[in-house]
Amino acid sequence: MGSAQAFVFFDLGETLVDLGSLVACLGRRLRTEYRAIAAGADDTALLWIRRTSESLPRGEGIAFAREIDVAASVLQDVLGARSVGVTVDQAEQILRRSWDDFEQRVKLCPGVSTAWLKEIRTLAAGLGIVTDGDSINVDRLIDRLGLLPYFDAIVTSEAVRAYKPNPQIYNAALEALGAEPNRSLFVSDTVLDLQGAFSVGMRTAFLPRRLLSGSVGLPSETLLLTRPGDLNEILRSFSSTFPS
């Protein structure tokens, strides 16, 4: 690997791993277990994942909470608004069963493959994953998809006790790879992730997806990817602009 190559960091959910099937699995569970809301189960599941993302304690100085705890509380609220009363513990068990279903069906996002990751490795100084998630769930997905050989570091919010865009999680990832911010590129489907990366001096690339993406507030000079394969050519030409 050339000394001028970039370190590349990826978000996991919806950037590399398709979360649409998680929403579908929860929708099926809700349809089966709560027939009164069967007709709106898929919309309920979609609202749940978006509200969970919005509800994570992302600000600096805010007490950390595990993603499963936040997600269960959100599901309790979402179901309560539909006149389905559950405890937080019951909501958590629904989510854990849905996650077990999801793990059996999980797939990579369109354009992402192990062959593509193998090629990206040859174009980068190192690869990392930086994800908001509980470590055990992330590890299960990584193992299920066979992703571990392609990444030099996997940093979870639970391990660092900070969610993106808190600088703490990015700095932990940079340290794990021995990477300098100005030689690093962060790839994500969400603006918030990229704002955090930009705040610590990393360069940014936006890969919009259908589930959680929005383009308002992108950092200046963010690269726009229309598909994952765009990153290959960017790294071939862009790495020469990084300091040796």
Sign of CA dihedral 169, 175, 177, 182: positive
Q: Residue 110 contacts by C-beta under 8 Å, 6 or more apart in sequence?
A: 18, 227
pLDDT of residue 60: 84
Label residue 16 exposed, middle or buried (CB < 10 Å: 0-12, 13-18, 19+).
buried
- Looking at residue 154, its amino acid is I
Query: Mean pLDDT over residues 97-110, rounded?
Result: 97
Model pLDDT for residues 35-84, shown as the tens digit of each residue: 999 999 999 999 999 999 999 999 888 999 999 999 999 999 999 999 99
pLDDT of residue 115: 98
The tokens describing 58, both together, are: 């992302």
Comparing CA positions, the residue from 27, 37, 30, 43 lying closest to residue 83 is: 37
Query: Mean pLDDT over residues 192-205, rounded?
Result: 97
pLDDT of residue 215: 67
The tokens describing 71, both together, are: 């997600």
Is residue 186 within 8 A of residue 170, CB to CB? The reply is yes
Is residue 24 within 8 A of residue 44, CB to CB? The reply is no
Reported confidence tier of residue 27, pLDDT bands at 50, 70, 90: very high
Instruction: Record the pTM.
Output: 0.93
The DSSP-derived string for 109-155 is PTT--HHHHHHHHHHSSEEEEEE-S-HHHHHHHHHHHT-GGG-SEEE
- Looking at residue 222, its amino acid is T
Q: Count the Cβ atoms, other than its own, within 10 Å of residue 212.
A: 21
Q: Please give the mean pLDDT across all residues of the chain.
A: 94
Model pLDDT for residues 111-163, shown as the tens digit of each residue: 999 999 999 999 999 999 999 999 999 999 999 999 999 999 999 999 999 99
Angle at which helices 20-33 and 88-105 pack, to 10 degrees? 130
Lowest mean pLDDT among 2-6, 104-108, 184-188, 225-229: 2-6
